[in-house]
Chains A and B, each alone.
Chain A
């Protein structure tokens, strides 16, 4: 997730305030845990919060509530990404598996043994920690268990079940929940440019940052086109292999997420009628038509197939073949 606003100072997101205050209080009482695990669905700004907290720990003269001043040398180096007491570990961009490798963690462990450069905290950010592979996670255990003094290790995870239990048990957990709709909307409305904030928030399942990432005219257009193609296949109007070739051009993760949402909405409409809350309120009419046309048991099966496909994401599975398979299945289940 990209940082929310690249500005001079760190901007605290409104739904992070409670957690932030808790952390700063612990810091003042000198009871800051050495390892914090920030857990919650993607799109809530966990990494943003972790970065802000790291900057706050490294800031020479924090403002009220420990907010980083944005002007001192510590903040300057931090913003430039060159703070010597801040170590960030994340998957390499070119890596296909998007895993954090054991090499990266070993390097971190070696660096962590040194004294801090400015004599204050040393901060390590591992994001997303649930993408550490098994070897990487294992080589981190020793450091998590016997921390070097004045080191704070921040981990973020949107899928904490993927972390080793031995990692989870060594960290203090901070839970992130989606904010109340009013809070999220108030924040979003000031920033959304291309679409209705409420619609985006629904599409993103209530995650404000994910909603903001969708605020992109081209992306929304893609979604519109993908929906037409997909509903065409379900309705029997489109031939699946051609449709798959068309859809394969899109970002696979996002597409599968959309497809899962569409099928879920069809199921919702079949089960509860129009009273339920839809993830895609803008396609209510079309989804309603499909819901009437199709049977619910095959739709459940289809949803399962989509989830399976999502499990294969970031593997070497050929996306085009995967889509072919999925859309042919759509066609069979819908017939």
Chain B
């Protein structure tokens, strides 16, 4: 078999799928990519058994067939070739030969039949979302996902699709991020699945700020995102996500409105002298005045005083400053609203006049 492709068309998709291939691999074949040759296109597939990415590239193929090649080596070779090169891949029995100009590379091949590609299972639910909507949902919440938590159902993001809206939730047990968006979905839509952390992060990288539709297909074991020429597929986490509705405070007795950037900068400064391990920061709240206090075991102290819009009662409450900075980093409005009840209950942070994104941060005892 002979495959003819341009370096410029092959390299970007090749780099994209190779991103899925893990550097450290227990199964040798997983460091390879699966190449399926068809009439005038080839599809590249890479998997780490958790997620799988498939993308189609234009190429001239002399016949149809499938084989696997070492992903990283192939990518490095393509990268190192001069731009504008034409690549000729020749496949015979055991070896693959890549030629370009006067360069010649002979690569080891493994049979396609041994490649654990995910079999397409019939999708049970299908819906479409605009690419930028999906990207935004992920951007707004992915930071709150747990990492290697024993509560394995927290190591991912909850995707919920109901008639009229799509909602994602991430939590690590200390803070929670929720983002929702009104979209047109069929009235019988009722989906609740947990997408693993790695897939969420990879998807966040893959998606662009475009209006193109992304087709989402769901089966009992997998979720599949169909973009233009790329298909991204992930296993799901087999567990029950906690009841997040109970975590979000239904009402806040005291509401504080403050300029987002001012608060962010003050917190960033104060955090320098907070305890490096617990990162605690104290909020001392009086009408129209917010005092921030941080100190560390070396007895160093930071104090900030901010003018705020507040008319509630006096509250003394501690937070992990890292969690607050994460939230302020993803909010976009100029003013943020922090809803508080008392020193022992969680804070609800939202952008002003922005109901779609809600963040809950648990207080800490200082």
Q: Which residues of A contact B (CB under 8 A)?
A: 73, 76-77, 80-84, 106, 109-119, 142, 148-149
Are B119 and A113 in contact, CB atoms less than 8 angstroms apart? no
Task: Let me know if A115 and B236 touch, CB within 8 A.
Answer: yes
Instruction: Select from chain A the residue with minimum beta-carbon distance to B219.
Output: A119
Which B residues have a C-beta under 8 Å from some C-beta of A?
A: 27, 29-30, 49-50, 113-116, 118-119, 121, 148, 150, 152-153, 155, 196, 220-222, 235-239
**Chain B residues within an 8 Å CB radius of A119:** 121, 220-221
Output the nearest chain B residue to A120 by Cβ-Cβ distance.
B221
Point out the residues of chain B lying under 8 angstroms from A84, CB to CB.
Answer: 49, 116, 118
* Distance (whole angstroms) from the CB of A77 to the closest CB of chain B: 6
- List chain A residues, Cβ under 8 A from B152: 109-110, 112-113
Q: Is the CB of B150 within 8 A of A113?
A: no
CB nearest to B236 among chain A residues:
A115
30 contacts between A and B (CB under 8 A): A76-B114, A77-B116, A80-B29, A80-B114, A82-B27, A82-B29, A82-B30, A82-B115, A83-B116, A84-B116, A106-B148, A109-B150, A110-B152, A111-B50, A113-B152, A113-B153, A113-B155, A113-B239, A114-B50, A114-B238, A115-B221, A115-B222, A115-B235, A115-B237, A117-B116, A117-B118, A117-B235, A119-B220, A148-B238, A149-B238
The CA of A30 and the CA of B114, in the complex, are separated in Å by 30
- In the docked arrangement, what's the CA distance between A84 and B49, Å? 6
Chain A residues near B153: list those with CB within 8 A. Answer: 113
Known: A82-B27, A84-B49. A113 touches B148 (CB 8 A): no
Closest to A83 in B: B116
Known A-B contacts A76-B114, A77-B114, A113-B153; the reply to A148 vs B239 at CB < 8 A is yes
In the complex, residue of chain A having the shortest beta-carbon distance to the beta carbon of B29: A82
**How long is the Cα–Cα vector from A24 to B196 in the complex, in angstroms?**
33
Interface of A, helix, strand, loop or mixed by DSSP: loop
Nearest chain B CB to A113's CB is how many angstroms away? 4
**The 10 residue pairs across chains A and B that have the minimum distance between CB atoms:** A113-B152, A115-B221, A114-B235, A84-B116, A80-B114, A84-B49, A115-B236, A115-B238, A148-B238, A82-B116
Among A82, A112, A113, contact of B114 (Cβ-Cβ < 8 Å): A82
CA A184 to CA B359, docked complex, whole Å: 67
- Decide if A117 touches B221 in the complex (CB within 8 Å): yes
List residues of chain B with CB within 8 A of the CB of A149.
Answer: 238
Contacts of B237 in A (CB 8 A): 113-115
A142→B238 contact, CB < 8 A? no
A80 and B116 alpha carbons, distance in the complex (Å): 10
- Summed over the interface, the residue pairs from A and B with CB atoms below 8 Å come to a total of 63
Query: What is the minimal beta-carbon distance from A6 to any residue of chain B, in angstroms?
Result: 16
CB <8 Å contact, B116 and A115: no
Instruction: Looking at the assembled complex, report how far the CB atom of B48 sits from the nearest CB atom of chain A, in whole angstroms.
Output: 10
Question: When chains A and B are docked, how far (Å) is the Cα of A45 from the Cα of B280?
Answer: 56
Q: How far is the CB of B236 from chain A (nearest CB, A)?
A: 5
Q: How far is the CB of B366 from chain A (nearest CB, A)?
A: 31
Contact B238 A117 (CB under 8 A): no
Given contact pairs A113-B155, A117-B118, A81 touches B235 in the complex (Cβ within 8 A) = no
Residue A110 contacts which of B29, B114, B155, B239 (CB distance < 8 angstroms)?
A: B155
Complexed CA–CA distance, A80 and B32 (Å)? 15
Known: A113-B237, A115-B238, A119-B121. 20 other contacts (CB 8 A): A76-B113, A82-B116, A83-B116, A84-B49, A84-B118, A109-B152, A110-B148, A111-B50, A113-B155, A114-B236, A114-B237, A114-B238, A115-B235, A116-B221, A117-B49, A117-B119, A117-B221, A118-B119, A119-B221, A149-B238
- Say how far B13's CB is from chain A's closest CB, in angstroms: 23
Q: Tell which of A73, A111, A113, A116 has the most Cβ of chain B within 10 Å.
A: A113
Which residues of B are found within 8 Å of A82, using beta-carbon distances? 27, 29-30, 114-116
Interfacial chain A residues near B155, Cβ < 8 Å? 110, 113
Residues of A within 8 A of B238 (CB): 113-115, 148-149
> A116 to chain B: which residues have CB within 8 Å?
221
Find chain B residues with CB under 8 A from A83 CB.
116
- A-side contacts of B118, CB under 8 Å: 84, 117
Could you tell me the distance in whole angstroms from the C-beta of A307 to the nearest C-beta in chain B? 36
CB-nearest residue of chain A to B111: A80
The answer for the CA separation of A148 and B114 in the assembled complex, in Å, is 27
Closest residue to B150 on the A side, CB-wise?
A142
Determine the distance from Cα of A117 to Cα of B119 in the docked complex, in whole angstroms: 8
B220, chain A: closest CB distance, angstroms: 6
Contacts of A81 in B (CB 8 A): 27
Collect the chain B residues with CB atoms within 8 Å of residue A77's CB.
Answer: 114, 116
* Residues of the B chain whose Cβ atoms lie less than 8 Å from the Cβ of A148: 238-239
Q: A110–B116 Cα gap in the complex (Å)?
A: 19
**Nearest CB in chain A: distance from B90 CB, A:** 25
Bound complex: CA A110 to CA B50 (Å): 11
Alpha-carbon distance between A332 and B196 when the two chains are bound, in angstroms: 65
